[in-house]
Chains A and B, each alone.
Chain A
Amino acid sequence: MAKQLLTLAPVDWLIIAIYFVVVLGIGFYLKQFARTGDDFFMAGRKITAWVAGLSFISANLSALETMGWSAQTYQYGLLAAHSYWYNAVPAIVFLAMVMMPFYYICRTHSVPGYLKLRFDGRSSTVAGASFTFMTIMVSGASMFAMAKILHLLLGWNMNASILAASLTVAVYVSLGGLISAVFNEVLQFFLIWLGTLLVPILGIIDAGGWTRMTETIRHNVHAIHPALQQHDFTCLWSNLGSFDNPMGVDWIGLVFGFGVAGFSYWCTDFLQVQRVIVAKDLRSAQNGTLIGAMVKMCVPFIVILPGLLGMAVLTNSDHTTMVLVPENDVRANITLHTYNDVLPLLMGRYLGPGLLGLGVTAMIAGFMSGMAGNVSAFATVWVYDVYQPLFNKTAGDRHYLNMGRLCSLVGVGISIGTAYALFYFSNVLEFFVALGMFFLVPLLAVVILGMMWRGCSAAGAFWGFIAGIAASLTMFLFVHSFPAGHRPVPQVALEKGAVVNLEEKTVHAEEDGQSLEINRRKRISRVIVEKGKVRLTNVPFTCGGGTGPFVSGDMTVKRTPVELPASFLDDETKRFESRHPEAGAGASRGEPMVNVKVLAPEVLLAGSKEAGQFGVEGVPVTLQPGVEVSSQDVTKYFDPASFNRDHDHWIARSWKAQPMGVYMYCSLWSFLLSAFVTVGLSCGAPRRAEAELKDLVLGLTKVPDQGPCPWYQRPAFWATVIGVALAVLNIVFW
């Protein structure tokens, strides 16, 4: 596998350079229009519906979204489209038609600001503090992901990528504030679409049309997902009657869990809501949100379709089906590409010089828009919901404006720190993603109840919110904790420069779908390490050969070669199966075994002395005398990268649940608990006077007369159109 996936021509560099010049130029140009706090934080509240709508979607349409959901589609099939047609679009329409009037009429600066008006300072301060923390962490994670992806795809230096992108964002957000972020997001919207749109257009022609593509996927799925080959990857609802689908979730988990997660993100994440509450009037705010919904409905064309195309059209040089693997697979980024590479692989397949530059610019633009959105939302919430109420209530507008500029710079600085922290704690990324979802879900319960029910009390909201966050965190700890200890997958890592001999045997192409070799027609049957150093993690062995105890420490192989096992009895799975025979796993395959993974990213092949790389599992390894061995026996009691099957089924109602299915159910339980506590504590509590709740609660909020307008400008009309289109899409792809 080549070290880098894409190679840029000079014209591609020119296109990327033009983008950076334009983005910085917009920041400098708009500085003159950000003179007051309202200009800086709320873009002067004069944004039109189209700008608000495109900015609303662009803030979410980052490269993590396009690459990430293409990867999810490759993994889960068309079920991933629920992220758009079930999770997002209905939630955005709900935001426009039901929640926007409250947000807009009460003139709040932020979602925590609404909580302060509706309840009191307690829940708004908790929401503000958690939101600023989460936002800045997500911004750093986005920066880290950008640097990692650009390094893998283009071979760019990670430090240079982080500094170039973060300095650019710091300059244009601190100069122009929200208006600068919004301008750039609209520009980025066009670049992302026009830079990516050609991939599905050319791909569907290449695949021979939709029907031909789905037939090819059904054929290729045997090689791509051998463990799931009986599942249908090309339908939206018809495989959700049971847990037997690529996601391992049933319709209840998807409808309620995924629904709750979607509504929480789109209706209460201030990063999104800020884009539309700054519109020039309520009708523009609602129409802007609905424009966002319409655009969102089309996003699967550039995100989901490439994921499906990846299963149909990607081939190796010998025309066999290309198999992509998850990031934690032993072959990932060594001999095989990962799920995350599906979109860049398609770009490399179809886009030549110039177009490729536009595609890469779209990716960079996507990362930067996500980062800028987080930084501008961070500055607003910090100044209005944390700094002003807690530290300085009486300062003038100029002071808060300067504080906003400073916060933008500080926000970027902390994001850089977070990005570098992720170099050492890569699993933290998953932790933050989960935390984001868990924090927003209880917030949704509190905000919805606050808007819809006059009796909802401040104490109920505060404790409901806290209970929801605590429940989310507890469930997260529960599914990732291993009270009896968990040994990560056994692994043999050959260090750079190790000299190896490979014994190979020829296999048939059909059985080769999941094989692990360099040459796809030959399978490695034994790895013999002649010289160098190897690191063993959780590999039991004895110097006399065979499976021995787990050992830790350094040694050098003496006179007799050491044989490392290809696989051994998996005690953890055996204990699990004896405790839970109803789970059914392993019932027909005898004793459960765990394969040892062998990782060789940079070795020398004995004989030819040529450099080589491979990743295999379930293959015996021989260590010749003189080989240095460093062995570790690792047992974890908490591992964010692994799920405890003993615990998962309590949350997700199934032994088959995949990570996304577990998180969906976590969201559902967290939402229900939060709502239950809020309602329970509010029932006996004294109610606030109706006058105090004016413009904050259903029944006490009068939508102002906005004057006559033609039918095609009415939000209700467009909400109906979107509803019908959504129903048609769900039926067509049922």
Chain B
Amino acid sequence: MDKREQLPVWFFVGAVLLVYGAIIALVGVYNLFPRHVNPDLAMQWLHADLWWGVVLTSLGGFYAARYCPWRKH
């Protein structure tokens, strides 16, 4: 068995959610401008992309920081 310690799966999950959350939140900010409204989309007034992006970023940030391999050393 390799002596190196295996990175926890939660770190990968956190990193991916962090990146996805940041991208989606940025798209949400872009869509705040009225000229970017998509008429085919329902419930757009809720700006789900913005707050869902923030949720993903927070969740991802928590997991990435909590299980960050460099944090232990």
Residues of A within 8 A of B (CB): 11, 14-15, 18-19, 22, 26, 29-30, 32-33, 35-36, 39, 44, 51, 182-183, 186-187, 190-191, 194, 198, 201-202, 205-206, 313, 348-355, 358
Contact = CB atoms under 8 A, between A and B. Distances in A.
A352 B41 contact: yes
Interface in B32-50: 38, 40-44, 46, 48-49
Contact of A18 (B12, B19, B41, B59): B19
A15 B20 contact: yes
A78 to B, nearest CB: 23
B55 to A, nearest CB: 8
B35 to A, nearest CB: 14
B53 to A, nearest CB: 7
Contact of B49 (A18, A32, A183, A352): A352
B34 to A, nearest CB: 14
Secondary structure call for the B interface: helix
Interface of B: 1-2, 4, 6-7, 9, 12-13, 15-17, 19-20, 23-24, 27-28, 31, 38, 40-44, 46, 48-49, 52-53, 56, 59
Contacts of A191: 16
B9 A186 contact: yes
Contacts of A11: 23, 27
A354 B31 CA distance: 11
A29 B12 CA distance: 11
Given A190-B17, A206-B42, A355 B24 contact: yes
20 contacts: A11-B27, A26-B12, A29-B7, A32-B2, A32-B4, A36-B1, A39-B1, A186-B13, A190-B13, A194-B56, A202-B43, A313-B42, A349-B42, A350-B48, A351-B48, A352-B31, A352-B38, A353-B49, A354-B24, A355-B52
A319 to B, nearest CB: 12
- Name the 6 nearest CB pairs between A and B, nearest first: A354-B27, A354-B24, A202-B43, A186-B9, A183-B9, A349-B42
Contact of A202 (B23, B31, B38, B46): B46
Contact of A354 (B16, B44, B49): B49
Contact of B52 (A30, A183, A198): A198
B72 to A, nearest CB: 17
Given A190-B16, A354-B53, 14 more contacts: A15-B23, A18-B16, A22-B15, A22-B16, A186-B9, A201-B48, A202-B46, A205-B43, A350-B41, A352-B41, A353-B49, A354-B23, A354-B49, A355-B24
Contacts of B15: 22
Contact of B1 (A35, A183, A351): A35
Nearest to A51: B9
